[in-house]
Amino acid sequence: QAVVKETLRLHTPIPLLVPHMNLRPARLGRYHIPAESKVVVNAWWLANNPAWWKDPSHFRPDRFLQEEAATDASVGGARKLQDFRYLPFGVGRRSCPGIVLALPLLGLIVGKLVASFELLPPPGADKVDVTDKGGQFSLHIANHSVVVFRPVQP
């Protein structure tokens, strides 16, 4: 689960959450938000802010086993409150309903792949290019690469 959480943090699937509009004037910290303002949450920035995450640009799944062990992607998680630094599925009533299926399923699939196969770059390459390309509403891989799956011998 730590690998899944770190992947979703580093490569936030939806960098800009669905826009919301407040019906009445509101305050958010030191900001006054007039009624009927459209608010867009930059989930990518929240997940990559160096003020909130140690080495945010590095892939460190161990962060979710150590200093961020209680960080959860769903309301009512270990802290019983949403951790607003980490919103891979959005938040509130309009959050992605797929979170219930995605988190456990991703953990099982990644775990089975890693346990059964050695994942290698294609012949002649040193590594797999996983550079992402920002879209307006989602991230996608800029260059599709081949990954070699070599079965692990028992």
**Binding site as annotated, residues for heme:** 96
Please, are residues 120 and 147 in contact by the beta-carbon 8 Å criterion? yes
Residues at the binding site are 96
Please, are residues 13 and 138 in contact by the beta-carbon 8 Å criterion? yes
SS3 at position 20: strand
Nearest to 59 by CA among 96, 103, 8: 8
d(CA 139, CA 79): 28
Residue 120 half-sphere exposure toward CB, CA atoms < 13 A: 12
**Residues paired with residue 119 on neighbouring β-strands, in sequence order:** 149
SS3 at position 147: coil
* Residue where the block lists tokens 């979703």: 8
Please, are residues 89 and 72 in contact by the beta-carbon 8 Å criterion? no
